[in-house]
Chain A
Amino acid sequence: MIAHGKNATGSMPQRIVFWCLRIATYFVLACATYIFLDITIKGSRAVFITHPPFVNFAFLSQAPETLYVFDYEGKKTTMGDREFREWKTTHQIDDANVTSVAYSAGGIWPCIVGTALLVIGSMTFALLVGISSAIYLSEYSRNGRLVRLVRIAILNLAGVPSIVFGLFGFGLFVIFFGWNVSLLAGWFTLGLMVLPAIITASEESLRAVPQGLREGSLALGATQWQTIRKNVLPYALPGILTSSILGIARVAGETAPIMFTAAYAVRDTMPWNVSKWSEFPFQGVMALPYHIYVVSSKIPQNEYTARVQYGAAFVFLALVMLIALSSVLLRQRVRMRLQW
């Protein structure tokens, strides 16, 4: 009765279907790989150079400038804004023959700084509030109406589009509180946006701590807060932090919420050049994702703009991917280490 020849690969239709599924899966991977490779290869030309030290520090450490393109003595010449102005003092050039391309010279340093500031501030806020909420939900709360409400709110908040967060941040922080376009407004907008993710991740980590530890501690006469501080949080914290790194990737990667709350297309002064430290959070900054938006939509695609477009996209992609990768790796390590 047992059919012969039916080996592990199965019948013909089964093989065909499985191959279709396999092809679909690898097609998705191929698309993603293509994007990574395209941006990496073309972006590397801006960021890396062929001679030591191999990294184009100028691109990473300068502010964006306008690029000037012109023919000089039969040669096509390109110059950044400052260089061009200096050069003009010693050379004669007819302005009519000079084409200028915005943003295409210099580098992206202020954008990197701005993004870093936005990430640090919003993650501090989100972690503080998120971990506290998670502690309440996992350690203190009883299943009451309020807690159900909180959970529903978290679930739905997670689905709110980022542009709506941007509108909300604009309405509340920028206009109602009168903070204008500022780091502070960006911190809160981005922080609130990742809050659901942080709460969910933190709660999961807290719940992974065995109940026995809590009971053991309480039975020894520890108060609830002592129990949480000494016997729950220390074991949950690695998990909370690694899961939250994904939140960092999201905060760093979002453009829509900061478009009208925190980001400027151009700003000449660096954030630390403020007259008073109290003004620090009330200044807008340049941000890498917004800069990419600006350079990819407001200037044409050509040989002169490709450098800054691909360079910025590559640096940004590399940063975000590095963060995401470290989250994945750390999570694996934490899972292995904390086996209850």
Chain B
Amino acid sequence: MVTLEKMPDVISTPSIPPATEAPQKAQIEIKDFEFAYGENRVLHSVNLQILPRAVTAFIGPSGCGKTTLLRCINRMNDLVDSARVERGEILIDGININAPEIDVVDLRRRVGMVFQKSNPFPKSIYDNIAYGLRVAGVTKRSRINEAVETSLRSAALWDEVKDRLDRSGLSLSGGQQQRLCIARALAVEPEIILMDEPCSALDPIATARIEELIHELKTQYTIVIVTHNMQQASRCSDFTGFFYLGNLVEFANTAKIFSNPTRRQTEDYITGRFG
């Protein structure tokens, strides 16, 4: 953390938008949501609204349920045995994503995800980006070329890799790999991007690049980010939710959470008294 504090010049501190009181329609609505792994209830009655084209951060100590909630938004938890929704719903644009008639493949195309550990496929950089389009049935070469360039540019990786698109994605550095994963997610043109501690395995410089990128992306995408790092949450998010033991303790404008939390637990966590 100390190193981060020492390099404020590298990090372009995001301007926190003023708390817009204007009623804006939420893109993701989480209503009374309860979730369990087997007998083990991991989320208790979470209520939350996520606004479009803003960055929402989930913070909290390990095991507080923040990653679980994130993975519920694109139903990544379907992969986990014994995981199930106990109660409540998650609505995206007013539609319950856990409804039986929902095509989960469609959902995931609209809700992209970047993982904690960068996971480029052991294919070329080009094929990594093209993957999402190809599985969606796009075969036109020109369209894929275009998407590869656009998304690599959006992920601020184009200049570094444009000469070696045929090299393996695994040949990139850690930070580049993570940006490749972001570019890959962008290529399918999702509306929402979920990021699960995207910088936890990266060094401060690479972290700064990603944070910068998040800041730029929010003009086009709704971003939900899970982070362990409170500075990161305060630097790059507009709204912050604090989770503790499966409960959403507090959710508010980031500036408010970090300067004037209403709950005692939040304050203790933010000031580093536990967690």
Chain A residues within CB distance 8 Å of chain B = 142-143, 210, 212-223, 226, 230-231, 235
Contacts and interface: CB of A to CB of B under 8 A. Distances in A.
A215 B79 contact: yes
A220 B76 contact: no
Contacts of A223: 105, 135
Contact of B119 (A216, A222, A230): A216
A217 B128 CA distance: 10
Nearest to B106: A221
A221 B109 contact: yes
A219 B135 contact: no
B101 interface: no
A217 B115 CA distance: 11
A235 to B, nearest CB: 6
Contacts of B108: 218-221
B135 A230 contact: yes
Contacts of B185: 219-220
Contacts of A226: 135
Interface string B103-144: 001101100110101011110000000011011100000000
A304 B257 CA distance: 96
Given A142-B81, A218-B76, A212 B119 contact: yes
Nearest to B118: A212
B181 interface: yes
Contacts of A214: 79
Given A212-B115, A226-B135, 16 more contacts: A213-B121, A215-B79, A215-B119, A216-B120, A216-B181, A219-B76, A219-B108, A220-B185, A221-B105, A221-B132, A221-B136, A222-B105, A223-B105, A230-B134, A231-B121, A235-B122
A219 B121 contact: no
Interface in B47-62: none
Interface in B141-187: 181, 184-185, 187
Interface string B88-104: 00000000000000000
A129 B79 CA distance: 24
Nearest to A214: B79
Contacts of B106: 221
Nearest to A216: B119
Contacts of A142: 81-82
Per CB-CB distance, the 9 closest pairs between chain A and chain B, nearest first, are A221-B109, A212-B119, A220-B132, A219-B113, A222-B135, A216-B119, A226-B135, A221-B108, A142-B81
A220 B135 contact: yes
Nearest to A212: B119
A216 B177 CA distance: 13
A143 B81 contact: yes
Interface in B35-84: 74, 76, 79, 81-82
A235 B136 CA distance: 21
A212 B135 contact: no
B73 to A, nearest CB: 11
B224 interface: no
B199 interface: no
A16 to B, nearest CB: 51
Among B117, B135, B136, find the residue whose CB has the most chain A CB atoms closer than 10 A: B135
B188 interface: yes
Contact of A222 (B74, B82, B112, B131): B131
A213 B119 contact: yes
11 contacts: A142-B82, A143-B82, A210-B119, A215-B115, A216-B120, A218-B76, A219-B115, A220-B132, A221-B109, A221-B188, A235-B122
